[in-house]
A and B are shown apart, each in its own frame.
Chain A
Amino acid sequence: MNAHEPYAREVTINACKLCNPLGASLVFRGIEGAVPLLHGSQGCATYIRRYLISHFKEPVDIASSNFSESSTIFGGGANLKQALQNVISQYRPALIGIATTCLSETIGDDVRLILDEFKREYGAPGRPVLVTVSTPSYQGSHIDGFHDAVQAVIQQVASGGPKKSMVTIFPGMVSAADLRLLKEILIDFGLDFLMLPDYSETMDGVIWDTYQIIAPGGAPVSKIRAAGRSKAALQLGRCIRRQQNAAEYLAERFGVEGYTLGLPVGIKETDRLMQTLAILAGRDIPRKYQEERGRLIDAYVDAHKYLYGKKAAVYGEPDLVLGMASFLAEVGMVPAICATGSKSGKLAEELRKLLPESEEGMTEVAEGVDFEDIRMLIERVRPDVLIGNSKGYPLARRYGIPLIRVGFPIHDRIGGPRLLHMGYRGTQQLFDRIVNALIRARQDQSPIGWSYI
């Protein structure tokens, strides 16, 4: 394994990360009846809305405290209070998730203090739950904002008490289809659960026959309140920092049984999730999933000849990269480039644990890089396939390498939120897509138009 530092450059050329409050906004959209509110310039809310919307193709309402120049001098307290008041009047939300921005953080607004004042002034009746998280764009990336927001919701809303049969799961930043699959699995295991966030409906909803002021769906606030009474809590994601790990927090604070698992991509990581759920539910793995697993292995066998030794460049959030790499190694591919714009500091270490020893030295790991860094790695490694979000398309085009679109954002195809990455079923879809992309590349490059490959 070769760990790469980003190339020594001050100019970032085509970033491979988005900003902190975007991740937080997505989390708040995964809570029932919640409205996200960004404390800062209105441009942040607008940009983040348009970016989430382009991927999800769903309405995304994010309010803002609309700083003016004078708010930057006198503080944004008055604006935030006014914003809360107006959001409550229009939307009657169950929860308002307040994420800070560069602006409010740079001037040093104390959001908790402002919220305390607001609560006193507004009074209790009709007041939604208020959660705040610190997400300046100059720290971390969107995935940090995501995890920090989950942690903030749990720390500020969950309380303890006698244990219930409920299981709490923190799925990480995955697709709406992944969330739906996770819920299906939990239901099939007969588990009562809280999944936070759950934007499977709010960000990939049905057409409406009546007008909805806030898109239906999401993790219910009542369940979040009870999270401290869960029997167990599962955090999916191995690259997550300890202080962002909400399952660990619940374990330490409320004595909930805490588990940290990888994103269930591929056989190995999905097996681990299934086994954990079987223990928690006290029952066997439902037959449906055993069959899905069997079909997946069968497909591995059928198609491994197309994949063996093929090199992939994977980029995106650290845990998505880790999950993909683990899966690729299973099917005989080489995760030759594992790159992320974020800086978890854990990707190399976690990869080392998951990848077979024989592949040591064949994988270039790079954290905190941009697409120009990734391009230079591609120049050197010459992968057969790229796996990541749509921002890698220019590289795929330039080097004539197929791109398998996964993760976020996907702006040049429809169906981003419906892409399944997880579980045996998601792995099956990924596997088929990768094999077919490689077959297609061979077919397209062949001098004769073979229709039997």
Chain B
Amino acid sequence: MSENLAEVFATTREKLLKVYPTKAARKRAKHMVINDPNPETMPEIEANVRTIPGIITQRGCTYAGCKGVVVGPIRDIVNITHGPIGCGFYSWLTRRNQTKPIDDNDYNLMNYCFSTDMQEDDIVFGGEKKLRQAVREAYEIFKPKAIGIFATCPVGLIGDDVHAVAREMKEELGINVFGFSCEGYKGVSQSAGHHIANNQLFKHVIGLDDTVRDSKYKINLLGEYNIGGDAFEIERILEKCGIDLIATFSGNSSYDYFANAHTADLNCVMCHRSINYVADMMEVKYGIPWIKVNFIGAESTAKSLRKIAKYFGDPELTERVEAVIAEEMPEVEKHRAEARSRCEGKTVMLFVGGSRAHHYQDLFSELGMKTVAAGYEFAHRDDYEGRRVLPKIKIDADSRNIEELTVEPDPERYRFRKTEAEVAELKAQGFEFSDYEGMMAQMAKGTLVIDDISHYEMEKLIAYHKPDIFCAGIKEKYVIQKMGVPCKQLHSYDYSGPYAGFRGAVNFYHDIDRLVNSKIWNYIQAPWQKSPELIATYVK
């Protein structure tokens, strides 16, 4: 691609917008910016607003974000979808999040898909009775630790009260039962569902178990969903460093970990978009500070570990963290050097998720590859431009629709983790609490940033620029590949992973090397298409 990215992409942007009717073009224009990483001159991007009808989006629904993403990976609770069959079926183990029951007696309910399978009669006469009975039966059969009830579109419309049913059943069964008003239409994307899930876990689960584990460095990892085993690798590294992981939200997780999460001394946020709400609420209620971390990329992993060590400020931990990094890195570097020799200079486009489009840029830059265009599917402005823009974000009707919990310090459980002096000292050293600088600060000047890229725009972007690799999800994968460009799925990693941590980075280097240097693409054109005259010579 030409060196003058800004100019090239300005033309592309114009071309992409041309196809839309005037009103749609005006709206889409605000979602496409030419990047400037300087916070002073960084352009404002429109994000987290409704997708225009008829524009094929990558986005899912509120239910998908709530049940599918955040609560789905908890292995020992029964998640009942209250609604017609589709929603439950489509969210049945489709995200490749893995879990490891601790022993043969532990639960693994993730293989199951529970639904009330509402029928027309339930829509007409109400489905609460059916739901109550379904909860009872699920309890009888599986005896889970807790039951979550998820509302789908028609439930909100007919007025079934999932929370009332949850309260009644909690009383009757004596286990924790809680509801989620995550009707698909509620928010602009799955992002609304993340928020709803955060709220309910905070209200109903976090803080139920006050047992304090006997360990020195207690953290929670927020927004890590154990796709392809990412959480396993992070757990391995943390354990090696002597850091005690109380709870992961929500990869490889148990209900019990959530109940105990408030006893941690630090919250580490991976996916800022899906989980920052819980981080903020836990800080207010329990006094747990939060920091942004990123375990995607070997360098980023090392950086995040050092950040955690710095927070605890214990030389013993710092030493151990350094020893672990020193031990892990040589192997990583060996593989990186090999892959880098074949990947260096190649171009990448990433359109995925609410944090992945940012995090994976680290891994690509470790390979010497250049991110030329990126965007999120369901992120908000702060994920692009950094949390500094939070006060400036307009609250529209869709955002107002999602409950904002009023949180106050817990009179018994609130505890200062650091003295004011310690906090000031850390800040003076450049340590950032409760902050996320966003994706655009890291991307080069002149690169293209598109929010909620439409399927049409994506296809055109590939046709115009043919990047060496395009990262998206399964809905995009096959059209990208039809156009002769390799696709790495960053939602589910195809069949691969883990990509987090040190070993994950090695996996990623190999997978990307294999993809961008595959010979398959050479066969697309048959020999007779490449040089017809040659065939003619033979025939003669």
Contact = CB atoms under 8 A, between A and B. Distances in A.
B94 interface: yes
Interface in B437-496: 454-456, 459, 463, 473-475, 477-479, 481-484
A22 interface: yes
Contacts of A91: 456
B332 interface: no
11 contacts: A11-B116, A42-B60, A45-B56, A46-B57, A46-B64, A47-B87, A69-B186, A69-B397, A72-B153, A72-B185, A85-B54
B484 A207 contact: yes
A102 B401 contact: no
B478 A53 contact: yes
Interface in B230-278: none
B481 to A, nearest CB: 8
A83 B54 contact: yes
Question: Nearest 10 A-B pairs (CB), nearest first?
Answer: A43-B61, A19-B86, A86-B54, A83-B54, A137-B84, A59-B479, A83-B53, A11-B134, A47-B90, A41-B184
B138 interface: yes
B154 A15 contact: no
Nearest to A64: B53
A2 interface: no
Contacts, number: 235
A70 interface: yes
Most buried by A among B53, B57, B185: B53
A48 B87 CA distance: 10
Nearest to B86: A19
Given A19-B85, A43-B64, A138-B120, A84 B54 contact: yes
A61 B80 contact: no
Nearest to A70: B397
A246 to B, nearest CB: 24
A149 B441 CA distance: 49
B54 A61 contact: no
Contacts of A37: 54
A53 B477 contact: yes
A74 to B, nearest CB: 13
Interface string B100-134: 00000000000111111111101100000011011
Given A53-B477, A66-B50, A17 B85 contact: yes
B164 interface: no
Interface residues of A, number: 74
Contacts of B85: 12, 15, 17-19, 137, 141
The CB with the most chain A CB atoms within 10 A, among B63, B189, B474, is that of: B474
Nearest to A68: B50
Interface in A135-171: 136-139, 141
B285 to A, nearest CB: 29
Question: Which of B86, B158, B188, B473 has most A Cβ within 10 Å?
Answer: B86
Interface string B16-59: 00011100100000000000000000000000001111111111
Contacts of B455: 61
Interface string A200-242: 0000010111011100000000000000000000000000000
Nearest to A142: B86
A139 to B, nearest CB: 6
A90 interface: yes
B89 interface: yes
A20, A65, A137, A370 pick with most chain B CB within 10 angstroms: A137
A443 interface: no
A72 B397 CA distance: 14
Contacts of A49: 475
Contacts of A51: 90, 94
Contact of A12 (B88, B135, B186, B397): B88
A22 B86 contact: yes
Given A86-B20, A211-B463, A103 B86 contact: no
A40 interface: yes
A394 interface: yes
B398 interface: yes
Given A72-B153, A102-B152, 16 more contacts: A10-B130, A19-B85, A19-B90, A37-B54, A49-B475, A57-B478, A66-B51, A66-B52, A69-B185, A86-B20, A86-B52, A90-B20, A137-B83, A138-B119, A205-B482, A207-B482
Contacts of B89: 15, 17-19
A436 interface: no
Nearest to B158: A106
A107 B153 CA distance: 11
Contacts of A101: 153
